Amino acid sequence: MYLLNASGCLDALTAPEVARSLDAFVTKTVTPEPRGGNEPVRIAETEFGMLNAIGLANPGRDVFVAETLPRLRSLGVPLWVSVGGFSAEEYAATCAVLEDVTIELNLSCPNVDEAPESAAEIVRMCREATAGPLFAKVSPHSWDMGETARAIEAAGADGLSMVNTLRGVALDVALRPALARGAGGYSGPALRPVALAAVMAARRATDLPIVAMGGVETGRHALELIACGATYVALGTVLFADPDAPTRVRGELDRELTAHGFESPEDAFCAALKSVASLENSRKR
């Protein structure tokens, strides 16, 4: 299994050994200009997960390329760079200066204003700006994930990442929003069924590689995403509480595979999707 972290859920320079336990490290989102992020409070726990409204805090593209990226390369881990922006031109300009990395376009951050262009338009401009591997990270809010996947594939993406956080609000004891911004990105266990549905819908629409994330805490959770059509799996909120999660999840996945009669993750690929297809075919008879 190809195992990554979800963007923003791990600082590789602070925890290099955790980063090295992954098959690739995904950076925090990089924007053209430096961003201090949103005002605190920016993180709040909920009963079944976590809300964040960090606001894409980062040192900006120039500092990232000149200082942060060389330090990350020294870790010896394949790198994915999360790219953000407030217009298609901004996304493309950052993609143009990145080399020897996989690019993940953050097209769906709920904590900042989005670019006016559609996801497909952004992917198309970025495809023109780089020949490197290009993945698009999409929102779970899409009503027709299959159509979204087809549009992104047609625009030139090499793969999909799903899902980003859902927009949510939590209130404190005084009935005030727990986050200063009000709403934030909701992640954690409750996101898992949403991720499973999104991956299944996208896989039915495209053969592109899919990086799946959303509430993954165990090897069983990873197996479920693979069974729905995920090519790779990413760990997110769990890394805040359990830095050993990558190693633990790998071991648990191996045991789950054996228990279900699979020799490898590839054998379990789309197992759930196949059962749905079988049911649909039986109804047509």
* Amino acid, single-letter form, for residue 126: C
Question: How far apart are the C-alpha atoms of 260 and 126, rounded to whole Å?
Answer: 41
CA distances for 252 relative to 67, 141, 220, 221, angstroms: 37, 30, 7, 10
- The sheet carrying 49-52 orders its strands as 43-46, 49-52, 184-187, 166-168
Query: Hey, how many other C-beta atoms are within 10 angstroms of the C-beta on 162?
Result: 29
Question: How far apart are the C-alpha atoms of 51 and 41, rounded to whole Å?
Answer: 10
Burial label, 241 (beta-carbon count in 10 A; 0-12, 13-18, 19+): exposed
- Residue 135 three-state SS: strand
Residues with catalytic roles:
109
Question: How far apart are the C-alpha atoms of 202 and 195, rounded to whole Å?
Answer: 10
Question: How far apart are the C-alpha atoms of 233 and 72, rounded to whole Å?
Answer: 21
Question: How far apart are the C-alpha atoms of 89 and 194, rounded to whole Å?
Answer: 31
Chain centroid to CA 2: 13
* Beta-bridge partner residues of 49: 46
Question: How far apart are the C-alpha atoms of 149 and 209, rounded to whole Å?
Answer: 11
